[in-house]
Chains A and B, each alone.
Chain A
Amino acid sequence: MARIVAGIGCSHVPAIGAALDNGKTEEPYWKRVFSGFEPSKKWLAETKPDVAIVVYNDHASAFSSDLIPTFALGCAAEFPPADEGWGPRPVPVAKGDPEFAVHIAQSVILDEFDLTIVNKMEIDHGLTVPLNLLCGKKAPNEEWPFKIIPLAVNVVMYPPPTGHRCHMLGKAIRKAVESYPEDLKVVIFGTGGMSHQISGPRAGLINSRWDKNFLDGLTKDPVKLTKIPHLEYMREAGAEAIELVMWLIMRGALADKVDEVYRFYTVPASNTAVGHIILENRMRAAPGGVTKIRRAAARAKAMDRRSAS
């Protein structure tokens, strides 16, 4: 059976993609951002997932204001990078897993989540920047190291789905994954955020304390986070911080108890606070489960040491 082994929370700031594409990763400003993802790249290379479900939002690339689906699942065989005004990003075309995606869609729709199914879609920085941060730079003729199932969420037009609804959808996705017969190792990304406002006279707002509490809650008490009203996201962390509801889909898809393997936070990348977290599912009382936890904890400590030095 397929199983979700870990969740990854990750900002998707477009300027990070531009810095990568324009060879600025060694500049001190950007090195500060990219170096925070070095342990994560190692972790991902060791974890070797077969499929990544990437929860993200489109930024007026695939969806204009003609059509605004709240949840749209990508069931295509491939997803080319969108032209966001400067030509498509020089990254690989994302290869999908149509059979698995359709299975997930059927399962969650029957679980009362009315998804939109997308059979043709271009993907923008909302999806490709987190892939780059976890996989490094990839040329268009290379491949991402796993198949990708995009889940686009409307967080651009208010109201986006509530945090609670997102968390419940995550749970339904987990159930869907676990009912798929193929033996697949799956990770799920929640992208966007953290605190930022990029519109209006209050643009530039950052609230690091609020962000830290959100990261803490994600590991320890996600149910508390599901009760945060939209108003609080916007007031406390900026109008565009409401993207963080997408992280709750990722969290809902994980087990109730998780191990925080790694965390990184820095301000700013362009206009935004960059947050990142890796959560591993705690293995159930299966043989070897405890060892696995200890290994995860040891790895986390090692990563802390590395990032501190």
Chain B
Amino acid sequence: MARAQRDYDDIPGTFVFDAERCRQGYPINTFCMSLMKDANRKAFKADETDYLKQFKMTPEQEQAILKRDYNRMLELGGNIYFTAKLGATDGHSFQHLAAVMTGSTQQDYAAMMLAGGRSVEGNRSISDKDRPAKTKSKSPAKKRK
């Protein structure tokens, strides 16, 4: 069944980890939790494809993990607090993962944060209703009157 559209799907660059993604991503997140144990980290590193078999993932989920495609993992039901454990297993800092997900270098990402972070202006809405959520529905209606 296709994923139902939700109001928060209109937020750009964001995969909200909702109950549906939680169900779908259970194998990804269970795999990531397993990396809390050193023996499991070693087994995964020794043969990634073989280690993943026990979690009954879809081929898409498995590919996303093998390719370290963090955005795709989120889209397929992974949650950032879980997938960060995969990043840590690879020896990456959290900010490195954040930079990867935003498609920038860690240096550029860190500089953006120091300069006050990513602005919400222009980043609120895919459907171009880019104004604060509270006033969104009211102001255009007024103009039409």
Chain A contacts to B: CB under 8 angstroms: 14-15, 59-60, 64-66, 68, 83, 85-86, 156-159, 195, 197-208, 210, 229-232, 234-237, 239-240, 267-268, 270-271, 273
Contact = CB atoms under 8 A, between A and B. Distances in A.
A201 B33 contact: no
A234 B11 contact: yes
Given A60-B85, A64-B33, A239-B14, A199 B74 contact: yes
Interface residues on B, range: 35 or more
Contacts of B133: 229, 231-232, 235-236
Contact of B8 (A83, A198, A231, A267): A231
Given A204-B112, A235-B11, A157 B22 contact: yes
A159 B18 contact: yes
Nearest to B19: A157
B63 interface: no
B30 A64 contact: yes
Nearest to A66: B30
A231 B7 contact: yes
Given A60-B33, A157-B18, A239-B16, A273 B117 contact: yes
A85 B133 CA distance: 38
Contacts of A271: 94-95, 98, 113
Interface of B: 7-8, 11-19, 22, 25-26, 29-30, 32-33, 35-36, 71, 74, 79-82, 85, 88, 94-95, 98, 101-103, 109, 112-114, 116-120, 123-125, 132-134
Contacts, number: 143
Q: Is the interface of A mostly helix, strand, loop or mixed?
A: loop
A179 B49 CA distance: 57
A202 B16 contact: no
B117 A201 contact: no
Give me the 10 closest cross-chain CB pairs, A-B, nearest first. A206-B117, A202-B13, A201-B13, A199-B80, A158-B18, A204-B118, A60-B81, A59-B81, A232-B133, A268-B113
